[in-house]
């Protein structure tokens, strides 16, 4: 009997071992998928930037150039231009925001897996958690898609007016410089600190985490809205400095990721604000020089 009992014990322990390793395996799978999505979107963004840069820019009064991103090419219609912009905007935002979003998605994945059972105590398996986590990301990037539509509408309208009114075109460099300076100041504001704290939250105990699609989508929308508010200033810097500029994308991505994930994120945000304010003052001096 002792021999049989020992054999059963060894068999049970061998069967139990994979389950103890399953959270670690799940984590590896999750971040491998995130890395793959990031790589695909980053590569697509690089290709798009290269293709748009090859088209050249249009010199404008005031010493600046107009990117072809904002105007139809020969034979193009506005809906096609808008669809192309929004599609690549989404790719770009996935590449830029995924590094800072991934930890929040994993926290949701873990929290729902632990508390998503019907009785409030038993967890649910990865096959049910994974689609819910994907829905969170869908809600998050839906908010950024709406933001992209608004950005294109505003940018295209502004550039169309600049093409027809030279006085407005000459004023754009100064207005852009002031906007960058304001974006730097915003990095020091309580408004920025509040939404940055929301993005840096490491505990999800204050959220209700029912395991159903509506709650997951709602959580993603909430994350997306908070992120848009938090990143508004840095996104404006990207748009002004050049939406096709890979260096600007890298700087903004690094700044957003660092202020979300670094231990002293608020200090990182303020340091970024100093850099952005310096950029704004340099642009103001350049605008006066060309003006």
Q: For residues 249 and 156, what is the distance between their CA atoms, to the nearest angstrom? A: 20
Give the tokens for residue 192.
Answer: 């920025």
Average pLDDT over residues 87-112: 92
Q: For residues 101 and 36, what is the distance between their CA atoms, to the nearest angstrom? A: 15
pTM of the model: 0.84
> How high is the pLDDT of residue 12?
39
If you count DSSP H runs as helices and E runs as strands, how many of each does the chain have, helices first? Answer: 9, 2
Residues paired with 59 in a beta bridge: 65
Q: 22: Cβ–Cβ under 8 A, 6 or more apart, which residues?
A: 126
CB 153 within 8 A of CB 249: no
Given the structure tokens 């600049």, which residue do they identify?
162
What does the angle CA 144 – CA 237 – CA 249 come to, to the nearest 5 degrees?
70
Over the stretch 54-66, which tens digit does the pLDDT of each residue have? 777 788 887 888 8
The percentage of residues in the chain with a pLDDT greater than 90, rounded to a whole number, is 54
* The three-state (H, E, C) secondary structure of 182-226, written as one string: HHHHHCCCHHHHHHHHHHHCCCCCCCCCCCCHHHHHHHHHHHHHH
What does the angle CA 153 – CA 157 – CA 162 come to, to the nearest 5 degrees?
150
CB 196 within 8 A of CB 260: yes
Is the pLDDT reported for residue 137 higher than 80?
Answer: yes
Over the stretch 203-236, which tens digit does the pLDDT of each residue have? 554 455 667 888 899 999 999 999 999 999 999 9
DSSP-based three-state secondary structure for 38:
helix
pLDDT-based confidence at 15, cuts 50/70/90?
Answer: very low
Residue with the larger pLDDT of the pair 259 and 15: 259
Give the tokens for residue 268.
Answer: 């990182």
Is the pLDDT reported for residue 124 higher than 70?
Answer: no
Average pLDDT over residues 14-23: 45
- In 3D space, the residue among 93, 85, 94, 99 whose CA is nearest the CA of residue 48 turns out to be 85
Average pLDDT, the chain: 83
Average pLDDT over residues 229-250: 90
> How high is the pLDDT of residue 64?
85
- In 3D space, the residue among 223, 220, 186 whose CA is nearest the CA of residue 201 turns out to be 223
């Amino acid at each position: 009997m002792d021999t049989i009992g020992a054999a059963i014990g060894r068999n049970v322990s061998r069967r139990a071992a994979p389950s103890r390793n399953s959270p670690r395996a799940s984590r590896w799978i999750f971040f491998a998928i995130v890395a793959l999505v990031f790589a695909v979107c980053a590569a697509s963004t690089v290709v798009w930037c290269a293709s748009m840069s090859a088209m050249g820019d249009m010199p404008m009064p005031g010493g600046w150039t107009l990117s072809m991103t904002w105007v139809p090419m020969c034979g193009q219609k506005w809906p096609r231009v808008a669809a192309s912009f929004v599609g690549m905007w989404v790719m770009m935002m996935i590449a830029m925001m995924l590094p800072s979003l991934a930890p929040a998605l994993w926290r949701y994945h873990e929290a729902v897996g632990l508390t998503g059972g019907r009785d409030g105590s038993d967890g649910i398996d990865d096959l049910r958690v994974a689609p819910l986590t994907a829905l969170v990301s869908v809600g998050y990037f839906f908010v950024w898609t709406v933001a992209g539509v608004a950005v294109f509408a505003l940018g295209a309208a502004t550039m169309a007016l600049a093409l027809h009114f030279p006085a407005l075109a000459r004023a754009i460099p100064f207005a852009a410089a002031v906007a960058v300076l304001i974006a730097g100041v915003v990095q020091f504001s309580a408004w920025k600190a509040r939404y940055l704290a929301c993005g840096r939250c490491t505990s999800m105990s204050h959220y209700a985490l029912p395991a159903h699609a509506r709650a997951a989508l709602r959580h993603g929308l909430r994350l997306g809205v908070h992120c848009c508010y938090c990143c508004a200033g840095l996104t404006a810097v990207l748009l002004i400095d050049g939406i096709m500029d890979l260096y600007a994308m890298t700087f903004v991505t690094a700044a957003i990721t660092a202020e979300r994930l670094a231990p002293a994120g608020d200090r990182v945000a303020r340091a970024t604000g100093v850099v952005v304010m310096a950029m704004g003052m340099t642009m103001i001096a350049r605008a006066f020089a060309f003006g």
